[in-house]
Every structure is written in C-alpha cells, then in structure tokens.
Amino acid sequence: MSTFILAFLFFLLMVTAMAIGYILQRKTIAGSCGGLGVLGISKACDCPEPCDRKKARIEREEKRQKKINEWKDNQIL
C-alpha cells in the first residue's frame, strides 16, 4: 500500500510541476508533429464553402477589426 501512495504522490507532484510550468510560460499547447499544416491541410473541414455560423463569425471578426482600426486612427489624430 505504501508503494501505491508513494507512486500516487510522485505523479501528483509531476502533474503539479507541469501545470505550474505551463502557467508561467503562457504558451499554447502544440503537438510535436506540427498538426494538419504538415500534411498540407489548411483547415479542419473539407467544405468548399464555410457554413452559416462560420460566415457570421468571420463577419463579426471583420467588424471588430474595423472598429479597432477606427479607434486606433482616432487615437493617432
């Protein structure tokens, strides 16, 4: 039983150390193989046309970027 407890504490310590390292480095999680980009796939789905939800999200992002650019232009003047 003591071996199990020691092994559990060791793994708990390692997970805690990795979590602290991740929090301090503030890096995004990335795969070691490079993901879909290595295979030449630019997007996760093979749809030729984006769905309505994706179109709406792109439109919202464009509006947001436009507002940010307008705000920056006003700050410079």
Give rounded-to-5 percent helix, strand, coil for the chain.
70, 0, 30
pLDDT, residue 76, reads 67
pLDDT, residue 21, reads 84
Per residue of the chain (77 residues), give pLDDT as tens.
899 999 999 999 999 998 888 888 877 666 666 666 666 666 666 667 778 888 888 899 999 999 988 888 887 65
pLDDT, residue 74, reads 81
Phi and psi (nearest 5°) for 29? Answer: -75, 130
pLDDT, residue 49, reads 78
Question: Using the 8-state DSSP alphabet, how is residue 36 labeled?
Answer: G
